[in-house]
Amino acid sequence: MSTPPDTPPPAAEPFAPERYFDERVAARYDDGIRMSCPGYDSLHTMLVPLLQLLPTQARVLSAGAGTGAEILALAPRFPGWTFVAIDVAPAMLEVCRRRLAAAGVADGRVEYFCGRVADYPEGAHFDAATSIFVGHFIPGPAAKGRYFRSITTRLKPGAPLVVADLFGAKESAEFLELIRPWLAYYISHGTTREKLANDLDLILRDMDFMPEADILSLLRQAGLVAPLRFFQNFLFGGWIGQTPSPPPAPALPESGYPFSRVDS
């Protein structure tokens, strides 16, 4: 029986990172991301100066850890820090584990958690968190806001969160201005036409681009103070903000004991 002409086409399967980032994608991820994101290594290198004021024994959350680039950038520079690598895709987490072992990052310094950040035990565990190229996979402001909040509610007071994602308003002149050289960069790295077509389809259909003002607003609503852009290349942006600091402890007056003396 043929389909009646007014039957709508079947809806596309919603994008599911745990399915998309399978063994095949995980094995190619580290080469592929560098073909599509020109400043990928610089972005991760920038984590070092951005986070260097953390305590020497800091515990850091890598949300959407993927193949471990954030931990690989930080662990050798800050030997007292420990990390929790959270990712929904088991194949990505497996590559992460192998790469960290090959880099000599001791297993005892990294806890691996397969799932969403919201599934991780609640509590202010972390001195800092990173979420690099994760938020743009989460569709819509409500879900994205919940995702950012699942991170900020696990941070200690005064802890920084570094976020990087694709951004922009898809119909804006700026978007069109930047997507052309971005694709030219992609092609210049030997990407086949077929891969370009597939990736472009994924980017335009499944990536949740948001104007910067909306991302900043979501980060503020998630509890970050004064989030600030520190990075941009083409349509990739990076922002840092921190949870509110605890109020300073009341200072003792210089004369010493704060209560008036009672002479006997």
Ligand X SMILES: C[S@@+](CC[C@H](N)C(=O)[O-])C[C@H]1O[C@@H](n2cnc3c(N)ncnc32)[C@H](O)[C@@H]1O
66 touches ligand X (CB under 6 A): yes
Question: What totals of helices (H) and strands (E) does the chain contain, helices first?
Answer: 10, 7
Interatomic CA distance for residues 214 and 205, integer angstroms: 19
Helix (H, G, I), strand (E, B) or coil at 226: strand
Task: Let me know: does 87 contact 81? Beta carbons within 8 Å.
Answer: no
Q: How far is the CB of 129 from ligand X (least distance, A)?
A: 11
Q: Which is nearer to ligand X, 87 or 127 (CB)?
A: 87
Q: Which is nearer to ligand X, 117 or 240 (CB)?
A: 117
Range in contact with ligand X (rule: CB under 6 A) among 80-88, 155-163, 181-189, 221-229: 80-88
Q: How far is the CB of 244 from ligand X (least distance, A)?
A: 25
132 touches ligand X (CB under 6 A): yes
Interatomic CA distance for residues 117 and 122, integer angstroms: 9
**Residue 119, CA distances (Å) to 84, 114, 165 in order:** 13, 9, 22
Out of 58, 75, 134, 162, the residue judged to bind ligand X by CB under 6 A: 134
Out of 112, 147, 167, 234, the residue judged to bind ligand X by CB under 6 A: 147
| Contact characters 84-113, ligand X, x per CB under 6 A | --xxxx--x---------------------
137 touches ligand X (CB under 6 A): yes
64 touches ligand X (CB under 6 A): yes
Q: Which is nearer to ligand X, 205 or 261 (CB)?
A: 205
Q: For 55-92, give one letter per residue: b (16+ CB within 10 A) or e.
A: eeebbbbbbbbbbbbbbbbbbeebeebbbbbbbbbebb
Out of 35, 51, 69, 216, the residue judged to bind ligand X by CB under 6 A: 69
Residue 165 parent element (H or E): strand 160-166
Query: In the sheet that 110-114 helps form, which strands lie side by side, from edge to edge?
Result: 110-114, 82-87, 59-63, 128-132, 160-166, 236-242, 225-233
The owner of tokens 């029986």 is 1
Interatomic CA distance for residues 231 and 235, integer angstroms: 10
Q: How far is the CB of 116 from ligand X (least distance, A)?
A: 4
Q: Which is nearer to ligand X, 138 or 159 (CB)?
A: 138
# of chain residues touching ligand X (CB under 6 A): 21
Task: Let me know: does 162 contact 130? Beta carbons within 8 Å.
Answer: yes
Range in contact with ligand X (rule: CB under 6 A) among 133-141, 174-182, 187-195, 233-241: 133-141
Range in contact with ligand X (rule: CB under 6 A) among 58-66, 166-174, 192-200, 207-215: 58-66
Positions touching ligand X (CB under 6 A) are 17, 21, 33, 64-66, 69-70, 86-89, 92, 116-117, 132-134, 137-138, 147
